[in-house]
Structure 1
Amino acid sequence: MSKQDEARGTGPVWLVIAGLAGAAALWWWRSGAESAALPAAEEQALAPAQAIVASLPELRPTLTLNPSLAERAAIAGTVRDPNGQPVAGAQVCAVTHSNLLATKDTERPSCAKTERDGHYRIEGLYPVRYTVLASGAGFAPGTYYQGEGASRRSWLDLRPKMEVLDVDITLEDGGVEIHGFVKDLSGGPVEGAQVAADATFTWTAADGSFSAWVKEGPLWIIARAEGYALGTEEGVAPGHEFELFLTPEAVLIGKVVRAGEGGGPVEGAQVTAMTGGWGFMPKSAYTDSSGEFRIDGLEPGAYKARAEADDALGVAKEQVILGLGETSAPIVIEAHPAFLIEGKIVTEGGASCVDGSVSLEDAAQGRDMWMSVESDGTVRQRGALPGDYQVHVRCNGFVSAERYERIKVVDKSVTGLRWDVAKGQSIRGVVVDASGKPASHVNLDASLKPDPSQPRGHQTTNVWGPETDAQGRFELAGLLPGTYELSLNTWRKPRATPAKPTLVEVTKGKDVTGLRIELPPSGELQGSVRDPKGQPIASAKVNVSDGVHWQSTTSKDDGSFHFESLVGGDYRVTARLGWWGDAMRAPGTSDDDVQGERVEVREGKVATVKLVVESASGRISGTVRDEDGEVVADAFIEATRESDSATKAAGAGIRQGRWGEFFEKPNLTDQDGKFTLEQLPTGKHTLRAHRKGGGEGIVEHVELGSDVVVTIASAGRMSGMVNVRGGTSPEEFTIVAIDEATGYRRTDQFFRTGGSWSLSELPAGNYKVSVTAGPGTAEVQAAMSAGKDTSGVRIELAPKVTVRGSVVDTEGKPLAGMEVYVSAPGTWSGGGGDEEKRNVTDEGGRYEVTNAPSGKVQVSVHPRSWGSNEYAWTNMPAVLSSEASVTNLPPIKVARRRVKDGDASGYFGLKFKESEPGADPLARQLTVAHVQPNSPAALAGLQIGDTITSVDGQDVTGANAYLYHGLTAVLEGTAVTFGTLSGKSVAVTAGKTP
């Protein structure tokens, strides 16, 4: 698969994108994607100055003004069609996702209709950052943009009393109308529900119906209504009637008070409901003058409330388990003294950065904080605890310094900070299609190829540019001198893109201008997904791939699908139901057989294909009861088709079913505890009934047509103590409890509890309980019996360690410029980067990782720059002893990539048995579970039951099993020698992927 052609099938929903920004930001920083620093000594004259740290004189700063209390602003402008003519009756909506507002204030857009002359005006806007969207009948939606090139922005920043005129928007051609319904779980209509589709907002009528004009193609829509949690559905426009089901909301209420005797209320604290399981975007509210808060619109589940104020931080003692439509009892959050960190990112010339963020990391305490630039150009972190924080700065279009002065928070707030960023250089050009016409809505990214002579001193620069405008123009700014790989993707409008990146040389002091990138010639693919009786399969996820390019779309209600732009080539087309799971099978085949159909796409031609798959019209009925035999009227129930693949470990259907839970249509038992699941694919199914956040019941191997009873076993409570070796307790820590057999997972955070912790409403099972904290990490096993409490689980944290070693290629040659991180399995935290970049290998391949967790860990190794594709990314299991402060690991081998971007991998026809849940990764065996008939492996004599011990002489057993993928990703026609446990040596020549 080419990352340049990762054209996803879902359209952007503004609410979703903003909601995921926090998680994406953490990944951004951990992956080293920040705008980078200056590489060499001669560049230091251009480097931004170090941050200046200044502290507030008082211990308790003035509270930050909540913009909801400030005077409002207004905007006005004109909506026009692509020909420049005014559009009457268009809807214009201003949308904000400012973290300074409560979630309920950001979920409702402010909208107005245009007049006969296309003019509109929206008043009552908060003084924060807004995106302005317009939609109208017969058009695709449009977005307000200002500026050009790297300065092009899709938002505007408002101030109190501000009035912004000329916020003009141009609608686009190619709009299509969608229709649908919003219903409650009983199937009744929900009137007045807000529906967000593409960049359009609409509201449901009395019968729950809605319509909207959107761009053509796959999209994801969201519905919200008073008294309900949000609902989502993915579909394709036009050709699909959307149906969204809303769950009655759960509500979390409480109060924030200052810790200590007679603690008064904390006004203006932001309280966030953090989910303890798989969830969507977090919701938050601000406390009133009495310290009280209310967070509504929650799905049933486990929630922990966290409160942050300028001078205080508090976390609830225990998670609240909210049932269907339930409002919690009032909880009390004790807020402890904390501090404010505040500053500005300043560009050359003294202006504030308008699009950036600051990441703070105290590795010793295990704390990470992330602050985005607000509408006034300020970054703020409320509720910061004392610590010594390393600073990373990112400002889109600018170059950050290699290092900024650390922020030391001791006993007072730190404000007046300034982080300077340099202008850097730019690549400007245009993207055109194969006919030479401008290509709009194309995203570009530039990745600096590493300088092998400066593995640690040469900072990487990875820049994501704004999408091309209507003239196909782009600018990638904030670049350092060097050689860049420019890659294209087309998230918004999937189309063919070049398989290989464009190389561009940026010399010192000189911008690159006039670059022209052409999209390759393409063809179309039309097809359908039907069962053997010719009945259409609606909403199937259809994927096409030629081994290099791939795209995805969704079938319409009549089973048809369309790929508008594919590079010419030989593609395999497959379909699946839902986001995860095996491809839908052709009648009479198994999950181990090659599924889908081959089709040749030719430039300028329309190819067709028909997928015939097993029926998806099955039904399972039943009743959900509790352990006493009483019916359960508020249980959610889900079915997952069990794979018949020989590779699957026991219970795979249970674990797989949890992944797509959020995106699936909710099925709720009725008042008699009964349920009916329909449109199920052929095969046996695993059924799971659960009260979200509470107990659950599982029945495996259920045949279609069955009437079953699913018993929800009583849940229990697990509790215990966490101590640092030596007897003290950590100030804050995170608990992750995982039942690896069923895939059940619960996460919780604890703050100043004296080391005590508890998890309520846990289903019965055998749990791996992992703890991460600043002082150390630990993992223990604990069993839960149905309805019984498990108490006294004592966990002693093993101290963090320093890890040293080297990274080499498979021939033992040292590799420079590789980043090394160490993390506990299943967690984000771990040891890695520091200011001296000691976790980056030097000329001798040597690295040092500080603050690494001990015990069972995963060691991750990857090139520093996205532009380096010479070596495979590596994740290796290891065990680190806590008995010594420094651990020396044996050399880590990394396979050289034998298939570059733009080339397709060859095919062997082997599948291996999955590891059983909880299996020791250090004892991993690659045991052949399936050999595709007539495949290269079969013709060479490899058989089911063979255990592969080496590839081309390289050991791939136990901890080295990770090397297998890199060693076998080879071009078609390449011979690879497999060694087996029985002593065989089998030469296999890679063939063409079927």
Structure 2
Amino acid sequence: MKRVWLAIGIGLVALALLWWKLRGDGDVSSKTTAAKPTAGATAKQRATAPQARPDPTKLARASIEGTITDEKQAPIAKARVCASGSSNDLDPQLLRDLICVSADDAGHYKLENLLPATYVVSASAKPFRPGAHHPSGDRKKTDVRLAAGQRLSGIDVVLRAGGVEITGVVADLTGGPIEKARVAALGSRWSSSRGSVMTETAADGTFSLWVAPGYASIVASAEGYADDWELTYAPGKVELLLTPESALTGVVVDAVSGEPIEGARVAVGGSERSEGGTFSDAKGAFRVARLTPGRYTATARTDRGYGRSDGSTLVGLGQSVDGVVVKLHAAVRVEGKVVISTTKQGCEDPDVSLADGMKGRWSDVQTEPDGRAWAEGVLPGKYTVEVECDGYRSKEEYEPIVVADKDVTGLVWEVDPGATITGRVLAKGAPVEGAGVSAHTVGDGARMEGAWGSDVSLPDGTYTLDGLRAGTYKLEVSTDKAVGPKDGYKIKLADGATLQKDLVLEETGSI
């Protein structure tokens, strides 16, 4: 059974390590693509400067409320409503678990005492499929941004019929049941039903969840235990075994002076997983708990500092290991912006990655809805850049970034409007929901570009593949309800074109 530390939230993902939010807007020009190194503090000052971050005990709490209804706008009484939070500023331990309430008889709910963060709000109820709130009605958007002290209303969720039940039990390694363990079914970006569901186990460790048909990731957590998860098929049954938690503690210090570093973001990971993170305190100390047994390496970052523990540390079952030292070296900050080439407007929630293949380094990049992107604690090297913006086509190549001993700012990465393929997935004239639709280029030249796209069909069978390059594509459909042609569907797509293509499935079966 595979055990990983998971941040309970939308998406079947391992914990994504969150870095600090950009302080100040910065001067990011939309007219230049050249790097503009800026003078900064000395190397020692950059590495040892305390990292300022909000004190959660002093932040004004906020709330989110709305109504849960079915497709006919009838309220759903006692629906379970959950919020999954994330933040660049706050310790991830504060937002690790879902925050849930039950709606009243009129379907109204209110989530209170929330920290300022970005939330995904989802709901579930028997016998419905879980669902999530989609801002502006855009099914690809789920983020609800909540400021300190803000009171958000109208965060409504519509549930559709057709849910199925997953039952199971949560126990410890001896087989003893765990009461009041938190069990969640996580929605996936590849699913047409993206809501997450959470419940608690009964005295005998049993639980029941209503989810969408198909694959679901079931996660269990309890105080004093490491998390466990299983990928299962709904409807069905699942057993989750929790192990006593392990912990890793240590200190972050300046590599030159040996002084403790406050506010460093510490991440703890194994060879194939990332299991937890926290901030160092005023004495540079950190502790990451709820780990499974294994070998772990600790890394730490500040705005302009980076460090990694020497080698890995073996942590046994239920063991707390101390003495890990992370030495922080001077590093720099890289800032830029992702913009749409035709309008120069910022891309909404872009994805940017920086990697130095020669030295085996990569830097986590944080982004904002206006297209701003930044990486902290970047070590010297030559970094390749990859950029994605939903619905737009990335350039074939972006100019590498050469990092020395100064900040790199003023970078601009443009994306272009791409071509679109849209239509419906049909079987015997009826729409097919939840079918995976993928497209990839065929032909020597197109294969070299590696162009592709994917989507999941909606209840009416519609799918959309956008941001595509010009070329010849092969479309394939994956569903357990029917199959399509053995060789898929071939489509020739011109630059910037929109093509309508219904994908008709015939034989009963699975592909």
Report the TM-score when normalising by structure 2. Answer: 0.83
- 1:422 partner SS: strand
In the alignment, what sits opposite 1:226?
A: 223
In the alignment, what sits opposite 1:321?
A: 314
AA aligned to 1:274 is G
In the alignment, what sits opposite 2:3?
A: none
In the alignment, what sits opposite 1:93?
A: 82
- The answer as to whether partners of 2:213 and 2:234 remain within 8 angstroms in 1 is yes
In the alignment, what sits opposite 2:422?
A: 428
Residues of 1 paired with 2:227 and 2:496: CA distance?
51
- The answer as to whether partners of 1:50 and 1:405 remain within 8 angstroms in 2 is no
In the alignment, what sits opposite 1:53?
A: 35
Residues of 2 paired with 1:433 and 1:515: CA distance?
14
In the alignment, what sits opposite 1:560?
A: none
1:340 equivalent among 324, 333, 349: 333
- The answer as to whether partners of 1:18 and 1:97 remain within 8 angstroms in 2 is no
- 1:421 partner SS: strand
Deviation string 1:535-569 (CA, Å, 9 cap, x unpaired) is xxxxxxxxxxxxxx55xxxxxxxxxxxxxxxxxxx
Residues of 1 paired with 2:343 and 2:471: CA distance?
25
Residue 172 (structure 2) pairs with residue 184 (structure 1): yes
Residue 502 (structure 2) pairs with residue 516 (structure 1): yes
Give the drift of 1:127: 4.1
1:386 equivalent among 380, 385, 392: 380
1:502 equivalent among 486, 489, 492: 489
Q: Which has the higher contact order (CA 8 A, sep 6+)?
A: 2
- The answer as to whether partners of 2:347 and 2:370 remain within 8 angstroms in 1 is no
- The answer as to whether partners of 1:371 and 1:381 remain within 8 angstroms in 2 is yes
2:210 equivalent among 196, 213, 220: 213
Deviation string 1:927-950 (CA, Å, 9 cap, x unpaired) is xxxxxxxxxxxxxxxxxxxxxxxx
In the alignment, what sits opposite 1:248?
A: 244
Q: Aligned-pair RMSD on alpha carbons? A: 3.1
Q: Structure 1 residues 484, 156: closer, same or farther in 2, change over 3 A?
A: farther
- The answer as to whether partners of 1:128 and 1:375 remain within 8 angstroms in 2 is no
Give the drift of 1:135: 0.6
In the alignment, what sits opposite 1:174?
A: 162
Q: Structure 1 residues 408, 330: closer, same or farther in 2, change over 3 A?
A: same
AA aligned to 2:294 is G
Q: Which runs of 5+ in 2 are unaligned?
A: 1-7, 18-29, 187-195
Q: Which runs of 5+ in 1 are unaligned?
A: 1-12, 23-47, 524-548, 551-994
- After TM superposition, list the pairs within 5 Å mapping 1:673-684 onto structure 2: none
Deviation string 1:215-258 (CA, Å, 9 cap, x unpaired) is 34554422111111112345554453x33221000011111111
Residues of 1 paired with 2:82 and 2:63: CA distance?
12
Residues of 1 paired with 2:232 and 2:467: CA distance?
38
Residues of 2 paired with 1:476 and 1:124: CA distance?
39
Q: Structure 1 residues 500, 166: closer, same or farther in 2, change over 3 A?
A: farther
Residues of 2 paired with 1:375 and 1:123: CA distance?
25
- 2:326 partner SS: strand
Q: Structure 1 residues 147, 469: closer, same or farther in 2, change over 3 A?
A: farther
In the alignment, what sits opposite 1:364?
A: 358
Give the drift of 1:66: 5.8
- After TM superposition, list the pairs within 5 Å mapping 1:437-448 onto structure 2: 437-448=430-441
Q: Which moved more, 1:209-218 or 1:336-345?
A: 209-218
- The answer as to whether partners of 1:49 and 1:420 remain within 8 angstroms in 2 is no
Give the drift of 1:308: 1.6
AA aligned to 1:329 is D
- The answer as to whether partners of 1:464 and 1:476 remain within 8 angstroms in 2 is yes
AA aligned to 1:112 is V
Residues of 2 paired with 1:381 and 1:86: CA distance?
45
Give the drift of 1:406: 2.5
AA aligned to 1:497 is V
- The answer as to whether partners of 1:91 and 1:135 remain within 8 angstroms in 2 is yes
AA aligned to 1:381 is A
- 1:104 partner SS: helix
Residues of 2 paired with 1:380 and 1:193: CA distance?
38
In the alignment, what sits opposite 1:274?
A: 269
- 1:328 partner SS: strand
1:400 equivalent among 394, 399, 406: 394
Q: Structure 1 residues 219, 106: closer, same or farther in 2, change over 3 A?
A: same
- After TM superposition, list the pairs within 5 Å mapping 1:840-859 onto structure 2: none
Give the drift of 1:271: 1.1
- The answer as to whether partners of 2:349 and 2:369 remain within 8 angstroms in 1 is no
Deviation string 1:36-66 (CA, Å, 9 cap, x unpaired) is xxxxxxxxxxxx9763423343233994746
Equivalent pairs counted in the alignment come to 474
Give the drift of 1:316: 1.4
In the alignment, what sits opposite 2:69?
A: 80
AA aligned to 1:266 is I
Residues of 2 paired with 1:211 and 1:383: CA distance?
44
Q: Structure 1 residues 67, 178: closer, same or farther in 2, change over 3 A?
A: farther
In the alignment, what sits opposite 1:132?
A: 121
Residues of 2 paired with 1:422 and 1:70: CA distance?
40
Q: Structure 1 residues 330, 265: closer, same or farther in 2, change over 3 A?
A: same
- The answer as to whether partners of 2:438 and 2:475 remain within 8 angstroms in 1 is yes
Residue 456 (structure 2) pairs with residue 463 (structure 1): no
- The answer as to whether partners of 2:417 and 2:496 remain within 8 angstroms in 1 is no
Residues of 2 paired with 1:220 and 1:461: CA distance?
29
AA aligned to 1:505 is K
In the alignment, what sits opposite 1:3?
A: none
- The answer as to whether partners of 2:50 and 2:261 remain within 8 angstroms in 1 is no
2:182 equivalent among 190, 194, 203: 194
Residues of 1 paired with 2:285 and 2:168: CA distance?
38
Residues of 2 paired with 1:257 and 1:425: CA distance?
50
Deviation string 1:365-414 (CA, Å, 9 cap, x unpaired) is 33233536456643332221011222221222111223323222211222
Q: Structure 1 residues 518, 105: closer, same or farther in 2, change over 3 A?
A: farther
